[in-house]
Structure 1
C-alpha cells in the first residue's frame, strides 16, 4: 500500500513536469522568428481551434486545471515547510543521527523544493503563454491594418495625373 501511494505521488509530479515541458515547447515555438504573426493569427482563428476554445466545458476545464496547480503549489509549500522543520529539529537534537536519516530528510527537502519549482514554473509559463498568444494575435491585426492603410494611401498616388507626378518628382529632386 505504501509503495502505491508513493508511485501515485510521483505520477502526479511527473504529469506536472510533462505539462511544464509542453508549455516550454509552445513558448519556444511561438517565439520562432520566421513564423509570422499572420500565420499564428490564422492558426488561432482556425475552425478547429475555435471549436475547442468555444466548447462549453473548455473554460471550466481551464479553471479546474489552474485551481489544481494552485493546490499543488500549496502542497509543495507545505512540504518544504514540514521537511525543513524536520531537518532543523534533527540538527538540534542531542541524539546522534544516522547518515541514512540525514540522506532521507535531505532527499525529501530536495523533492519538496523541486515540486515547488515545477508548479511555480507551470503557473508562470501558463501566464506567459496566454499573454504571448494575445500579443501575437494583436500584432497580426495591426500588421493587417497597416497593410490596408498603405494600400488605401498608395492607390490615389498611383492614380494621379501625369502633370502631378512630374511636379512631385521636381520637388523631390530639388531637395
Structure 2
C-alpha cells in the first residue's frame, strides 16, 4: 500500500475509534459539551469548517482516482478474456486494490459526516438536558405555589366557621358564669334559711326551759 493510501487507512481507523468512543456511554453529553467549549477545541474550531471541507475535497479526489482505476482494470480484464493467466492475475490484483481503496475512501468520507453529526447531536442533547432541568424546576416551583395558594384559600374559607365556633364558645362561657352565679345565690339562700332554722330552734328550746 502506498503512502497516501496508508494515510487514508490510518485516518479511517482514527474515525472508527472516535465514533466508538462517542457512541459508548463513557462520557456524558455534558462532558462532551465542556470539551467542545474548551480552549483546546476552540483553537481547532475556529477553522474547523475549512479543515473539514479541505479534507473532504482530498478524500473525494482519492475516491475519484479509485473509481477511475476500478473502471480501468475492469476493462483491461475484459479485454484480456483469459488469454494470459499471469496478466489476468495481475489485473485482478490491481482491481482488488482499486476496490479496496474505493471502500476505504468511501467509508472515510461517510464517517466524517457521521462524526460531525454526532458532535452536533451531543451539543444539542446537553442543551436539551439543561432546558429540561430548568423546566422541571419551574414546574416544581409552580406546584409548590399552587399548593400554598390552595392552602391559603382553604384557610380563608374556614375563617367564618372559626368565628362561629368562637361565638358559641363565648356563649357557653357566659351561660357557665350565669349558672355559677345562680349556684352562689342558691348557696347563700340556703345558708340564710339554715341560719334562720337554727335561730328558730334555739328560740324554741329557750322557751321550753322557762
For normalisation by structure 1, the TM-score amounts to 0.79
Distance in 1 (alpha carbons) for counterparts of 2:49 and 2:120: 17
Q: Output the aligned Cα RMSD.
A: 2.1
Alignment of 1:11-90 (within 5 A): 11-55=3-47, 58-90=48-80
Higher normalized contact order (CA 8 Å, seq sep 6+, divided by chain length): 1
- Runs of at least 5 residues in structure 1 that lack an aligned partner in the other structure: 1-8, 168-175
- Is the deviation greater in 72-81 or in 43-52? 43-52
How far the C-alpha of 1:48 sits from its partner, in A, is: 1.4
CA deviation vs aligned residue, 1:141-175 (integer Å, no higher than 9, x gap): 0010000111122124345439639x8xxxxxxxx
CA deviation vs aligned residue, 1:83-132 (integer Å, no higher than 9, x gap): 0010000017xxx31x3222211100000000000000010000111111
Assess, with a 3 A threshold, how the Cα gap between structure 1 residues 91 and 164 changes in structure 2: closer, same or farther.
farther
Distance in 1 (alpha carbons) for counterparts of 2:3 and 2:30: 39
Higher helix residue share: 2
> Which residue in the other structure is 1:10 paired with?
2
How far the C-alpha of 1:62 sits from its partner, in A, is: 2.5
> Which residue in the other structure is 1:4 paired with?
none
SS of aligned partner of 1:119: helix
For normalisation by structure 2, the TM-score amounts to 0.66
Residue-pair matches, total: 152
After the TM superposition, list the runs of 4 or more consecutive aligned residues in structure 1 that deviate by more than 6 angstroms.
none
**Higher Rg of the two aligned structures:** 2
Alignment of 1:130-145 (within 5 A): 130-145=116-131
- Runs of at least 5 residues in structure 2 that lack an aligned partner in the other structure: 155-210
